[in-house]
Amino acid sequence: MLRDKDLVSVQEARSKVEKAWAAFQHYRRFTQEQVDAVIDRMAQAARAGAERLARLAVEETGYGNARDKTAKNLLCSDTLHQAIRPLKTVGVVREDAEQKVIEIAEPVGVVAAILPTTNPTSTAIFKILIALKGRNTIVLSPHPRAVRCTCETAALLYQAAREAGAPEDVIQCLEQPTLEATQEIMRHRRTGVILSTGGQGIVRAAYSSGKPALGVGPGNVPVMLERTADLRRAVRLVVEGKSFDYGTVCSSEQSLVIEEPLRDQVLAELQANRAFLCDQNQKKALEKLLITPDFRVNPACVGQSPTKIAQMAGFSVPPETSILVVELEGMGKEHPLSAEKLSPVLSLFVVADFEAGCKLCDNLLHFGGLGHTCVIYSQDDARIREFGLRMPAMRVLVNTPAPQGSVGITTNVFPSMTLGCGAMAGNVTSDNIGPLHLINLKRIAYHVREAAQAFRSPEGQAYFATGATGRPGDGGSAPRPAIAARVDQYLASRGLDSTVPAANPASQVVDRFLTSRRSVASSPPSPASLTAPSPPSGPAPPAPPVEVVPFVCESDVRRAQREGKKIYIGSKTIVTPAARDMGADVIVKTD
């Protein structure tokens, strides 16, 4: 029976997204305690299987080494688990009693997770844990060259999740991944968000899918070794970082930039750390081998040992070699090894001083690592801060290996296998991605002020003093002339003359009213506060049986309801629409 692989894979993608969506309808109702039980059990299973999964990844992809891949698996099942365990991701996650705002977590739904071939098992553990921590379900799309180890990782965590009470189908993994299948899960109507890790092509596809997407940019990490650094320690850590998993981490060191006076000592320290210093012929051989004519990384060299890469380039190095070092005179396409290499090959640049080093590091980041990561080794805090302010990178690491520092092993940045590079690299975030990126927050916000009280500027005050349209309630209050006219009418009915210059009762009442509307701290005025003061002289008119107020707003009604009082109005009393709607139980007409 003939089968079209692409059609079969697309159908598998559709089916698994639908299954994940159905599971989401149940999982979204889990309590925080239930979610954390699922996360704890999965993390425990991943820790127990960390070494086995690392070996599977190396056997299937041929990239990196099992020891360092085990460390990456433990990063996600141990360090990451510690970081996310206390996070609130269900129900009310924050309540500000003073501001009267309550924040409630809402899951995003089905997460479409695109995985790389360089870190297939650790990235799978990472994405599953952060997705399910936010009460989401997940569909994994493995790299075609890492299907077996990725699916095995997903199966291990799925079994653990089910044992902890998670719904059936909460984790799905494509067994026949194709480009078409990956595009299908990214564009599927049930997909809530895309979490993409891989080459620039797949990340661009995620951002152009029409769905919310969290992707990353490429890395071309420069390391500045400033003259106050502890050189022995600095060089040791640079080699440690560059050799980690044979350079497969996108935040691995790519270029070491040193000041001229340090050259001889740095070269000696590199050799002391088993680095092999290549000559000009070896450099040219590596340029042809590592970077293809269309300026891409040769996939055959990704994550290979330094001895194998040297052999592929046509020369030999000692078996204990940690990294290969190539000194360059310039950067750019004329110098291919100044780009990202994804292998244990480090470029070395010698510059005149710190200023020249900063400019070169800036250029290297623009040459293929914009927004990602850079490193400085220094004991001069002023230089460290200057470097950090100038570099177009979202992770500026200090005195630490780049891969371990960027993912949160040796620093306190959030533990993550997906490192955002910010808007400068076309990414939606500059953060190390975590579970809080996979939830939405809805807010309950209480009424805390009248509209006019929100404005402090002279323009805002003037707007609410004169009104927007001349109608009560528009712009926060009735216009001042209209209020004054009504108050004048009211005072005239009481036998008072509001036009007397020595005492202008109407003006006083209006001014007191407008002042009360503009004051955030003051309580709503009582109806009594809006009545005219007693005239300075003359016989007092007969007192009405009740006190009739000239103006009633929403705050007056609330106050009366709170105090159990009535508000008496006459035919000329101004009552705002909102006050009339809500004040039927307290507003009493007197005529």
Choosing from 76, 149, 250, 278, the catalytic residue is: 250
What Rg value do the Cα atoms of the chain yield, rounded?
A: 34
Distance CA 41, CA 161 (A): 7
For 572, the enclosing helix (H) or strand (E) is strand 567-575
Q: Is 250 a catalytic residue?
A: yes
Q: For residues 60 and 148, is the Cβ–Cβ distance under 8 A?
A: yes
Distance CA 209, CA 184 (A): 10
Residues near 383 by beta carbon (within 8 Å), at least 6 away in sequence: 226, 228, 354, 376
Distance CA 393, CA 388 (A): 8
Phi first, then psi, for residue 364 (nearest 5°) are -65, -40
Distance CA 86, CA 233 (A): 35
Q: How many CA atoms lie within 13 A of 123 on its CB side?
A: 27
Joined together, the tokens standing for residue 278 give: 């290549």
Could you tell me how far CA 447 lies from the centroid of its own chain? 29
One-character DSSP codes across 48-82: HTHHHHHHHHHHHH--S-HHHHHHHHHIIIIIHHH
Q: For residues 552 and 583, is the Cβ–Cβ distance under 8 A?
A: yes
Task: Supply the residues annotated as catalytic.
Answer: 250
